[in-house]
Amino acid sequence: MEEWIGGIWHKYIIRKASRNFEEAKVDFTDISKSVGIVYRALGGDAAKRMESASVRDYLIRKSFLQKIAADNTPISLAWQDEESLRLPESLAVFPSIELNRDLYIWLAILAAHHQGSFRHWAIDNQQIVVDVLKKHPSLRPRYKKLATAFIETRVDQTKRPVNEQLMEKAICQAILSPGTVNEFPAVNYAPQAVYLWLYPSAHLDPQLLPEYGDFEETDSQKSKNKTKKSQSSRKKAERVDTGDGKDGMMIFRLESMFSWSEFIKLDRGSDDTDEDDEENQRVIEDLDTITLSQQQEQKSARVKIDLDLPSASEDDIPIGEGIKLPEWHYKKQLLEADRCILQPMLPKDSSAKKLPLKLQKTAKVIQAQFEQLRSAKYWLKSQPQGEEIDLAAWLDFHVESKISPTQEKGLFKSFRGNNRDISTLLLADLSMSTDSYLDSNNRVIDVVQDSMMLFGEALNSVGDNFAMYGFSSVKRTNVRFTMLKNFNEPYTDHVRGRIQSLRPGFYTRMGAAIRQATKVLSEQKNSQKLLLILTDGKPNDIDHYEGRFGIEDTHQAIIEAVNLGIKPFCITIDQEAEEYLPYLFGSDGYTVILRPSQLPMRLPQLYHQLTSH
């Protein structure tokens, strides 16, 4: 009975102490796409991620009810850094859903107009608001509505110390009339959270971070939920000192001793790795604070797991000594020369093979569809010479000659062909993720092979000039560029055999592969040049290429290709591709195949659409 009454009392006092309007709460996950569109449309960094912000401890003076309720709940504020824009996980600041949604949009607008750091939080925020309203006068009614409603939600400060009252008045005036307040009094407690403004980024002290060399560990070391993308907010981190391990009481458990039964050969089962990952994910989501410690001693004991390259006898056949390529360093805004080494290769143990029986029927259907792309024959009229007389031109000449002396014109017509002037390079991602299974019988690499063979059959039937390559990588010094068919080589059973001998590779250093493909394609003499990129994931590698570095380098490589008159187009089966592909290829420069099994049929069809007009 006492526990039941205590539970009711706890809920009641928490509800009374809270200043939020839970019935009008808007979650970040429900509006994240709209926030991203607004942020980028108004000039925000297109490569930044839209994420929910981690909570912060925010030391404010508590009311009497908050003290009774023991309200120590940290709050989530809006801030950004060079990687992402982080907005509150949810907003219940206003009593209406519409206002809370408008607040999310307003914060995105502010962030788009402020990319630097704060010198004075309150003064700088006022200036941002002034700049936004000056640049976009149509936002004034929305801001006025938000500002008025926000002031009404502020807690009465008349019984607080004088300095806190002056601070509250200054903030209210700065909200209602931005740009008019230049002085703010010093106070012992932080003012009530100003949700209409941005806050400084919550960076860790750089001195607390470990020193990394060229191959720093970043997002690649983070665990990822295998079933779905986690929508939870980032956790709050806390740095603590590492114990020296010399003090404390040692507890010995008899259960930890081995008994004779441990050495009997019994089937004891095995742990399910997937279940362990799911359990670990649930534990992480339950934690409010993740405690981190930095081990200063034994730095050499840190283990880095890498993939070993196959031995020379088992590896593909290298061609030449390798090609040095540049790479884009987005922090320096500099293209660093000779940063990567690309190694052209030929598939090992490939031999001439016919088109597999399972694809022959589909290939005939696709070839029939491509017949309309063949060089169309037509009559060129009014020619001085040709295969036949142009009767219409002869009749015109005869009538005109009866009226007055007329010079003889072209009286013949010639049968001509309109040759397609296009070169296409198909670049396929052969990373280790292609080894994953789509169903009980097919892997991603199997679908990629089928797609490339049907693509080759289609373009060979229409007579277009094309080449096919694959790529994967292990760090910047080993970008593997597998040649399947070059532009000067006919599409034969030898090419089909190379495609069928493909194996999953390593990582996806896409920028270097695109630069080499661009170089090969730019050497062709055709007026139209198409670069098709077939991938199942975003750019990544085991070194610093993970995350934004890979995205920015790939983006720069695409820009270089476009400047050379090449049209890049990406075909992907990555269901999360819409988070980064619009930035890389533009809104109309990519397509997502929702059902990977349809890729073999869709690839030739997409080529048909891209080149038939």
In this prediction, residue 455 has a pLDDT band, given cuts at 50, 70 and 90, of: very high
Residues 387 and 509 occupy one common structural domain = no
Distance CA 448, CA 484 (A): 13
Q: 218: pLDDT confidence band, cut at 50, 70 and 90? A: very low
Range of the domain at 565: 346-369+420-611
Q: Which of 132, 156, 176 is the last residue of a domain?
A: 176
Question: CATH code at 494?
Answer: 3.40.50.410
Whether residue 538 sits in one domain with residue 408: no
* Residue 199 domain flag: no
The confidence score (pLDDT) of residue 117 equals 81
The confidence score (pLDDT) of residue 456 equals 95
b/e code 133-152 from CB counts within 10 Å (16+ = b): beeeeebeebbeebbebbee
Of 176, 196, 214, the residue at which a domain comes to its end is: 176
Q: Which helix (H) or strand (E) holds 423?
A: strand 422-429
For residue 66, the model assigns a pLDDT of 53
Does residue 344 surpass a pLDDT of 60?
yes
Indicate the helix (H) or strand (E) that contains 58: none
Q: What confidence score (pLDDT) does residue 439 get?
A: 84
Question: Rounded distance, CA 244 to CA 222, Å?
Answer: 27
Tell me what pLDDT residue 17 has: 47
DSSP for residue 443: B
Residues 167 and 228 in one domain: no
Classify residue 311: in a domain, yes or no.
no
Q: What token pair was written down for 444?
A: 């991603």
- Asked if residue 570 and residue 504 are part of one domain, the reply reads yes
Residues 32 and 99 in one domain: yes
User: Which of 38-52, 272-286, 294-308, 557-571 has the lowest average pLDDT?
Assistant: 294-308
The runs of H, that is alpha helices, within 250-390 are 273-286, 357-369
Place of tokens 């050379």: 564
Domain-embedded: residue 331: no
Domain boundary among 160, 176, 192: 176
Examine residue 233 and state whether it is found in any structural domain, yes or no.
Answer: yes
* Bridging pattern class, strands 479-485 and 465-473: antiparallel
pLDDT band of 577, cuts 50, 70, 90: confident
Give residues with Cβ within 8 angstroms of 476, minimum separation 6.
Answer: 327, 339, 340, 341, 509, 512, 541, 543, 545
Distance CA 484, CA 310 (A): 20
Does residue 398 surpass a pLDDT of 60?
Answer: yes
For residue 468, how many C-alpha atoms fall within 13 Å in the half-sphere facing its CB? 26
89 in the same domain as 131: yes
Phi, psi of 332 (to 5 degrees): -90, -10
Question: Is there a single domain that holds both residue 19 and residue 162?
Answer: yes
Asked whether the predicted pLDDT for residue 345 surpasses 70, the reply is yes
* Number of domains present in the structure of the chain: 4
Residue 184 lies in a domain: no
At residue 336 the predicted structure's pLDDT band, cuts being 50, 70 and 90, is very high
Does a structural domain hold residue 461?
yes
The verdict on residue 527 lying in a domain is yes
Distance CA 116, CA 561 (A): 31
Residue 319 lies in a domain: no
- Asked if residue 45 and residue 121 are part of one domain, the reply reads yes
The residue whose two tokens read 């792309």 is 373
Percent residues over pLDDT 90 in the chain: 40
Q: Judge if 353 and 282 occupy the same domain.
A: no
Residue 204: pLDDT above 50?
no
- Where is average pLDDT lowest: 11-15, 349-353, 493-497? 11-15
Extract the tokens encoding 355.
Answer: 């088109």
Look-up: residue for tokens 């390559």? 469
Q: Name which residue leads in pLDDT, 50 or 261.
A: 50
Q: Are residues 504 and 581 in the same domain?
A: yes
Cα separation, 161 vs 141, whole angstroms: 34
pLDDT higher than threshold 80 for residue 537: yes
| 514 in Cβ contact with 531 (< 8 Å) | yes
Residue percentage of the chain with pLDDT more than 70: 73
Residue 564 DSSP label: T
Same-domain status, 240 and 99:
no
Q: Where are the beta strands (DSSP E) in 173-300?
A: 236-240, 289-293
Statement: residue 289 has pLDDT above 70: no
> Are the beta carbons of 233 and 52 closer than 8 angstroms?
yes
Whole-number Å distance between alpha carbons of 316 and 311: 10
Q: Any long-range contacts for 141-144 (C-beta under 8 Å, 24+ apart)?
A: 142/102, 142/106, 143/106
Q: What gap in Å lies between CA 528 and CA 530, rounded to an integer?
A: 7
Residue pair 509/326 in contact by the 8 Å Cβ criterion: no
Q: Is 71 helix (H, G, I), strand (E, B) or coil?
A: coil
Residue 151 pLDDT exceeds 80? yes
Q: Are residues 24 and 124 in the same domain?
A: yes
Per-chain mean pLDDT for the chain: 80
